[in-house]
Amino acid sequence: MVRILHTADWHLGKIVNGVHMTDDQSYVIEQFFQIIEDYKPDLIINAGDIYDRAIPPKEAVDLLDQTLTRLMTDFKIPTLMISGNHDSPDRLHFGSQLFRDHQLYIQSKFVLPIEPITIYDRFGPVHFYLIPYFEPADVQKYYPDEEITTHQIAMESVIQSIKESLNPNERHVCVAHAFLAGGMSSDSEDRLSMIGGSPYIEVSLFKDFNYVALGHLHQPQKISSDHIQYSGSLLKYSFSEANQTKSMTIIELDDQGEISLERIPLKPKHDLRVLTDYFDQLLNGPEYEASEDYLHIQLLDDGQILDPITQLRKKFPNILRLEKITKQSARGLNELERMKQRQKRSELELFEDFYFELTDQRLTEKRKQMLQSVINQINQKEREQ
């Protein structure tokens, strides 16, 4: 029996509505170590988006340094990490060869073939295949005679290269950072590139693995079956996640390759919540206790209120957003919904809309391909910074 602790999407260095989250992240990472103490996993997986941006702030780098040092010196548990779309592969790669001597395996750069990390229990080997986030162009380099333009086609090629050496009598775990079709997304996740119109990957590609440990989507969830899981993010990073319970996942893999799992809830230092009510009720109602949680307050009052934010902050000091929800604001709400829909569109789709508004003509397929190539180059340069 192999016991695995699966986590992902820490986003160290994250800023939410102007608030630096490093102190909140440190608070939850202490719970991560308590989970290790309580459950004693044989192996730890972090499935990408370690940092929130390619050039993380010093405080985020220090927090990761302290965390990994403590893992390697105090616990000595094999730990597998991959890069996500927010990480700089080059920066996360620093020191990775040295860390392997301490059982910290960081796969931040995409290379083929993918050589598994293998650990053993009394029943034999368990092979772990680390697939960091990649763009289709990264895979295209290995298949010059094929046309690889989408995440789906690229992942098909990657998984096929792994399957060629899979022994069906042994156990296999895939670690990846990707957007699987059917997954529920949140506002705090950056869109992946949408070459060919879709960033999604079909879940059927992963049917030959005993467990698939995923990163990218911030809500803990299974995709299609229990053996394909997103562990979710370390904290709530947008108000669209207010109703989610963040957790880490404990997986037990038996000798037959069957899994059982348990989600271990995480308690934030400051919860991220939405309160919707009338001003006087929020201020004086017994159901609303004073709180230092991060709040989005929606007021239902029709009339004018003199300086509501100052009065409310005496009771709720960490209000991050305040808005009025009234009948007259229906048009504004519709506009907000349209804006959210625009945010879900790719750069290419947004430019197509802009071009059509200016010229009353649609982009040709050739121009789309040229524009997408430019967008890919810009995105790649941003990730390499």
Q: What predicted TM-score, i.e. pTM, was given to this entire model? A: 0.83
- The mean per-residue pLDDT over the stretch 27-43 comes to 98
DSSP-derived 3-state class of residue 60? helix
Nearest to 204 by CA among 156, 168, 163, 249: 156
For 19-33, 195-209, 283-297, which range has the lowest pLDDT when averaged over its residues? 195-209
**CA 385/CA 378 separation, integer angstroms:** 11
Question: In a 3-state reduction of DSSP, which class is residue 107?
Answer: strand
In the predicted structure, residue 329 carries a pLDDT above the cut 60: no
Q: Where are the beta strands (DSSP E) in 122-257?
A: 124-131, 171-177, 211-215, 221-223, 225-230, 247-253
Structure tokens at 256: 């037959």
The count of other CB atoms within 10 Å of the CB of residue 271 is: 17
pLDDT, position 327: 56
Share of the chain above pLDDT 90, in %: 75
Confidence of residue 359 (pLDDT cuts 50, 70, 90): low
For 67, the 3-state DSSP assignment is helix
State mean pLDDT over 34-52.
Answer: 97
* pLDDT of amino acid 385: 56
Higher model confidence: residue 151 or residue 193? 151
What's the chain's average pLDDT?
90
Quote the CA–CA distance of 85 and 99 in Å, as a whole number: 22
3-state secondary structure of 23: helix
Predicted local distance difference test score (pLDDT) of residue 268: 97
Report d(CA 248, CA 9) in Å as an integer: 11
Tens-place pLDDT, residues 229-277:
999 999 999 999 999 999 999 999 999 999 999 999 999 999 999 999 9
Look at residue 187 in the predicted model and tell me its pLDDT: 78
Per-residue pLDDT tens over the stretch 62-113: 999 999 999 999 999 999 999 999 999 999 998 888 899 999 999 999 999 9
Residues 6 or more apart in contact with residue 285 via CB below 8 angstroms: 277
What is the average per-residue pLDDT within 199-218?
95
Contact present, 43 and 77 (Cβ < 8 Å)? yes
pLDDT of 237? 96
Would you state the structure tokens that stand for residue 372, as one six-digit string? 């997408």
What does the pLDDT read at residue 184?
86
Condensed to tens digits (0 to 9), the pLDDT of residues 119-150 reads 999 999 999 999 999 999 999 999 999 999 99
Q: Is the dihedral of CA 96, 99, 100, 103 positive or negative?
A: negative
Residue boundaries of the structural domains of the chain: 2-265, 272-331, 345-384
**Hey, CA dihedral for 285, 290, 291, 296, is it positive or negative?**
positive
Domain 2-265 classification at class level: alpha beta
Tokens of 142: 């290995």
pLDDT single digits (tens) 270-299? 999 999 999 999 999 999 999 999 999 999
The confidence score (pLDDT) of residue 193 equals: 61
In the chain, where does DSSP find H-type helix? 22-39, 58-70, 89-93, 96-99, 136-140, 151-163, 279-284, 308-313, 330-343, 347-359, 365-384
